Chains A and B, each alone.
Chain A
């Protein structure tokens, strides 16, 4: 399983774009990159998943360079409700077949 490294915390203000980068230097060919969001006292919630290049949905964008050794989660125009912990996970196959191992995550604090 590829190990991931993320910043422990980030601060932002409402309306700004937030980019959280995750390093996964030993990502394998079959690995996908998945991001989850977790609010206090709640279970994680799926945000976005990608394999290469760029993926966009109604919530976020995910940028993956050609070497796939890192990925960047982009949250456009954050609001106070985006304050949460964001986890980057790397796993074999589109959905990790056996285990989903969470790293330390990035604690995003959005200020008014």
Chain B
């Protein structure tokens, strides 16, 4: 099956710094990518939908200025957590699909810990 690579798998940062997470579709062109966050023992919560070449659509309650999403190419989307704080510590997961009729593939996730 298709592969979605997410990097880094784990990051620890100090409060106030920004962290960038990359999501790459390795063997297909992803017109749409989704970003989720997941707290321990909880389900995935959709944060935003990212379409290549356009602005991301954020879910209600997700601050777009804090979670910057860029989908500049058909194989790469990035999520930048700006001025991270301890409450931003979470597991972030991306997913990608080639088009609306294709299966969704998930990355392996990024564990963010903000000290």
Please choose the segment from A13-21, A65-73, A101-109 that sits at the chain B interface, where 4 or more of its residues have CB less than 8 A away. A101-109
Q: Tell me what chain A mostly uses at the interface: helix, strand, loop, or mixed.
A: loop
Known: A41-B111, A43-B6. A95 touches B104 (CB 8 A): yes
Binding site for A on B (CB under 8 A): 1, 4, 6, 34, 36, 43-46, 49, 91, 93-95, 97, 100-109, 111
- What is the distance, in angstroms, from B56's C-beta to the closest C-beta of chain A? 13
Task: List residues of chain B with CB within 8 A of the CB of A44.
Answer: 44, 93, 95, 106
Known: A93-B100, A95-B101. A87 touches B43 (CB 8 A): yes
Q: A101-B46, A104-B43 are in contact. Are A43 and B108 (CB under 8 A)?
A: yes
Given contacts A41-B109, A93-B100, contact A99 B49 (CB under 8 A): yes
Residues of A in contact (CB 8 Å), total 20
Cross-chain contact A46 with B103 (CB below 8 angstroms)? yes
B45 to chain A: which residues have CB within 8 Å?
102
Residue on B nearest A44 in the bound complex, by CB: B106
With a cutoff of 8 Å between Cβ atoms, the chain B residues found around residue A43 in the complex are 4, 6, 93-95, 106-109
- With contacts A41-B109, A43-B6, A95-B104 taken as known, whether A102 is within 8 angstroms of B44 at the C-beta atoms is yes
A29 located at the interface, meaning its Cβ lies under 8 Å from any Cβ of chain B in the complex: no
A45 within 8 Å of B by Cβ? yes
Contacts of A103 on B, CB cut-off 8 Å? 43
